[in-house]
């Protein structure tokens, strides 16, 4: 067996062949600047962008594609949403599972006078809903919650959280970095006000793509301002979407690839993708539980999780396991804290972290079985070797 890629939560690999083909085609045939000029190449580029916006709106069941704002990635989209809604004196509620893409902007906003409440999560990576309900105050402006943990793989009930937020007059922002393209998201049904997504994970697009869905009626202060190709006579930023938040030339070739990725997801079927990744996670967890020395983290039920699984092996460290998997078994995984110290504190694996396997559409049951053989060998070795390496600082 060749290389096994189990790092889809960092970025998905491989991509459908249509993704790279669309990017090459875009550079060759649609190389103008979208929305800037009226000539054929500019219009061809604008068609690419419009097509991608429509595909994303349909995927998320957003009725108006202009409410999809393109961004560099989910972090960019989250910063736009957080800085665009929160002001000194506001209160924000978040969870103990958040990635630093949420926690670092929030900790910065805290220094500017925004109050932050972090609702704790259990060692299984699930949120205490009663604590969440009690966290809201009269000045709570925003709830921000990850749809699924990038460490534990646990899926949060974002629809119920959004309902609680609305009951308290707050907006609901969902970080869908780990779920867009992996599990169905219906922004209409879930009553999510803001949804940040990345293009390069389960949507199967290239890096440097992502965006933010903004519900109609939700006003956001722009993160950056500049040329949009629209309202050019004015030196003030346009107030209509998506232009208000899309200053500067877009990553058109990347968006072309994202468009192809989203269309692949829709043609394959989100239900099929979710079922496949859950089946792989279940097969892995069932096998790993039989290996002495392996500890699994996250929810026990397959229904509550994505294709992300964290584990440790007794007698060895995550970084050792990651090195052995790559060097000796050709298995690529991510080890450590996964940019989410808060989540690791919640599941009790801070500061050492875990080994994370994240399965994607292109992974197979045979790859899961090969990884279990590797883990058994590493666990046996770790159990029979005294801890300690010969190094000096």
Partner 1 sequence: MGSVERERDVVDGLISFFASQHAMRAEVVLARGGLRSRLVPGPRELSPNCGVALRFDYAEREKAVALLAARSVRIDGVHFYQPRTDAWRGRS
What is residue 55's DSSP assignment?
Answer: H
- C-alpha pair distances (Å), 371 with each of 24, 183, 289, 306, 349: 35, 24, 13, 18, 22
At its nearest, how many Å lie between partner 1 and the CB of residue 180? 24
At its nearest, how many Å lie between partner 1 and the CB of residue 15? 14
DSSP string, 24-51: HHHHHH--S-TTT--SHHHHHHHHHHHH
- What is the spatial distance between Cα 355 and Cα 337, in angstroms, rounded to a whole number? 9
- What is the spatial distance between Cα 266 and Cα 257, in angstroms, rounded to a whole number? 14
With respect to partner 1, which residue has the nearer C-beta, 215 or 381? 381
At its nearest, how many Å lie between partner 1 and the CB of residue 317? 6
- What is the spatial distance between Cα 146 and Cα 289, in angstroms, rounded to a whole number? 27
At its nearest, how many Å lie between partner 1 and the CB of residue 304? 29
121 is a catalytic site residue: no
C-beta of residue 15 within 8 angstroms of C-beta of residue 206? yes
Task: Give which of 269, 262, 267, 277 is closest to 203, Cα–Cα.
Answer: 262
With respect to partner 1, which residue has the nearer C-beta, 222 or 360? 360
Task: Kindly list the residues in this chain that would bind partner 1 in the complex (CB under 8 A).
Answer: 2-3, 317-320, 322-324, 326-330, 332, 335-336, 351-353, 377, 381, 385, 388-393
C-beta of residue 328 within 8 angstroms of C-beta of residue 314? no
Pull the structure tokens for residue 98: 């958040």
Q: Which residues contact 94 (CB under 8 A, 6 or more apart)?
A: 102, 103, 106, 116, 117, 118, 119, 143, 144, 145
Pull the structure tokens for residue 59: 């995927």
With respect to partner 1, which residue has the nearer C-beta, 94 or 310? 310
With respect to partner 1, which residue has the nearer C-beta, 362 or 381? 381
Pull the structure tokens for residue 272: 């099929």
At its nearest, how many Å lie between partner 1 and the CB of residue 37? 36
Strands 171-175 and 194-198: parallel
With respect to partner 1, which residue has the nearer C-beta, 242 or 318? 318
Pull the structure tokens for residue 36: 């800037």
- What is the spatial distance between Cα 294 and Cα 275, in angstroms, rounded to a whole number? 25
With respect to partner 1, which residue has the nearer C-beta, 2 or 38? 2
Supply the residues annotated as catalytic.
339
């Amino acid at each position: 067996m060749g290389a096994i890629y189990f790092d889809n939560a960092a970025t998905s690999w491989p991509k459908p062949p249509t993704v790279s083909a669309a990017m090459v085609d875009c550079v060759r045939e649609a190389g103008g600047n979208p929305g800037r000029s009226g000539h054929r190449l500019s219009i061809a580029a604008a068609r690419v962008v419009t097509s991608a916006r429509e595909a994303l709106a349909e995927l998320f069941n957003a009725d108006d594609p202009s409410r999809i704002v393109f961004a560099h990635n989910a972090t960019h989209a989250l910063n736009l949403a957080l800085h665009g809604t929160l002001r000194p004196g506001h209160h924000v509620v978040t969870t103990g599972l958040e990635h630093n893409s949420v926690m670092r902007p929030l900790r910065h906003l805290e220094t500017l006078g925004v109050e932050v409440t972090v609702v704790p999560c259990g060692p299984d990576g699930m949120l205490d809903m009663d604590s969440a309900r009690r966290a809201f105050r009269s000045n709570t402006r925003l709830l921000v919650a990850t749809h699924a943990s990038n460490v534990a793989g646990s899926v949060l009930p974002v629809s119920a959280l959004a309902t609680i937020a609305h009951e308290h007059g707050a907006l609901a922002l969902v970080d869908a970095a780990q779920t867009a393209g992996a599990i169905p998201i219906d922004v209409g049904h879930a009553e999510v006000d803001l949804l940040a997504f990345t293009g390069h994970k389960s949507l199967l697009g290239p890096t440097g793509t992502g965006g933010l869905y903004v519900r109609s009626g939700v006003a956001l202060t722009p993160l950056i301002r500049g040329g949009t190709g629209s309202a050019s006579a004015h030196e003030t930023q346009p107030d209509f979407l998506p232009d208000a938040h899309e200053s500067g030339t877009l990553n058109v070739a990347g968006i072309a690839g994202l468009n192809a990725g989203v269309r692949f997801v829709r043609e394959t079927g989100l239900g099929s993708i979710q079922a496949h990744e859950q089946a792989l996670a279940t097969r892995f967890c069932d096998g790993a539980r039989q290996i002495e020395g392996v500890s699994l983290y996250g929810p026990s039920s397959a229904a509550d999780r994505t294709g992300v699984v964290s584990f440790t092996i007794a007698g060895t460290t995550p970084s050792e396991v990651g090195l052995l998997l790559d060097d000796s078994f050709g298995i690529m995984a991510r080890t450590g804290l996964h940019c989410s110290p808060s989540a690791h504190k919640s599941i009790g694996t801070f500061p050492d972290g875990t080994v994370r396997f994240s399965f994607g559409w292109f992974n197979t049951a045979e790859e899961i079985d090969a990884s279990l053989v590797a883990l058994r060998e590493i666990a046996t070795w770790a159990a029979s070797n005294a801890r300690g390496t010969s190094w000096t600082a």
